[in-house]
Structure 1
Amino acid sequence: MLVLSARLGEPLRSTFRPEAMRALLAEHGFEVARDEDLSTIGRALSPTNGKATQAWKQMSVVTAVRAPAGAR
């Protein structure tokens, strides 16, 4: 996996707004399961991570799942 990530140019980044990312994922048959900013993720991990990531509210991680066949 590490080799594949390196070949793809990890880290993969984009500048999509949440609505645009949802639309793009839906266009390709996915639906958003979670969309959380890094500050929220950091707080969920630990108080130390929460403090370290509190300024990163503009960055988010989206988790998507393949939409059911009838929903596409």
Structure 2
Amino acid sequence: MGPFQRADKTWYIECHHVHRLSDGGPDSPRNVIGVCPNCHRRAHFGADREEFNKLLIDRLRLVEPRRRRKSQS
């Protein structure tokens, strides 16, 4: 689920690369987390962006093993 539904009734969400592509981060699903538009701007421009990105990386580490298990079944 995202912050709002689009006209076609699908949920809107933005993808954030937790390790920036411009810094050599991989363009891989394991490097991307879905966030609302406000959190996406926070991750890039917030005064706490470094701490917030660390939090997103920690959350992605919790989710990624579950994604791998599901894809293997």
Scaled by the length of structure 2, what TM-score is found?
0.28
Greater C-alpha radius of gyration: 1
Structure number with higher relative contact order (C-alpha < 8 Å, ≥ 6 residues apart): 1
Q: Which has the higher strand share?
A: 1
